[in-house]
């Protein structure tokens, strides 16, 4: 477990009603309805779900980690780099678990793309939170 020496920011959000309820951040910048995907017995309603939110959060955070690593190594990243997150959910003997795949598109970067991704995986907060507990795979394009 990693203990923070200093908290730089705390995001706060509240969920009500579970997987078919709603979510909202304390500052009002995030509000969304939730719906249960068909794969989990739902109706695929108009709302989002925890897996989509985790995929989006991890993808955005991973871009931040890539930018951090590139800055340390003085590598110029194209403005249009893209990370697509996929979060699968399925049963395990004790309940349910998730697995993550990140597809990283660094465009025409003049550096070893795989090395940048590996270094970003070391510093990314989502990677550090999931390491050793969630299967995370990468596709670098």
Q: What's the pLDDT tens digit per position in 16-32?
A: 999 999 999 999 999 99
CATH no. for 1-47: 2.20.25.10
- pLDDT number for residue 38: 94
Give the class (CATH, top level) of 48-138.
alpha beta
Range 115-133 average pLDDT:
97
Q: What percent of the chain has pLDDT over 70?
A: 100
Per the structure block, which two tokens stand in for 128? 């550090």
Predicted confidence (pLDDT) at residue 126 exceeds the cutoff of 90: yes
- Per-residue pLDDT averaged across 68-73, rounded? 97
| Domain-wise residue ranges, the chain | 1-47, 48-138
| 91-110 pLDDT, tens digit each | 999 999 999 999 999 999 98
Average pLDDT (33-43) is 95
Asked whether the whole model's pTM tops 0.85, one would answer: yes
The alpha carbon dihedral of 2, 9, 13, 122 has a sign of: negative
132 backbone φψ class: left, alpha, beta (φ>0; ψ -120 to 50):
left
| pLDDT at residue 110, as a whole number | 87
């Amino acid at each position: 477990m990693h203990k923070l020496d200093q908290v730089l920011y705390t995001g706060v959000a509240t969920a009500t009603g579970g997987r078919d309820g709603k979510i909202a951040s304390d500052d009002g910048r995030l509000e969304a309805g939730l719906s249960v995907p068909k794969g989990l017995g739902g109706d695929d309603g108009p709302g989002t779900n925890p897996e989509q939110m985790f995929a989006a959060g991890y993808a955005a955070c991973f871009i931040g980690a890539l930018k951090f690593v590139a800055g340390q190594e003085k590598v110029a990243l194209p403005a249009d780099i893209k990370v697509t997150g996929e979060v699968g959910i399925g049963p395990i003997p004790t309940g349910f678990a998730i697995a993550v795949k990140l597809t990283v598109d660094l465009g025409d970067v003049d550096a070893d793309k795989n090395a940048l991704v590996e270094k970003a995986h070391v510093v990314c907060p989502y990677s550090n939170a999931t390491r050793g507990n969630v299967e995370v795979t990468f596709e670098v394009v």
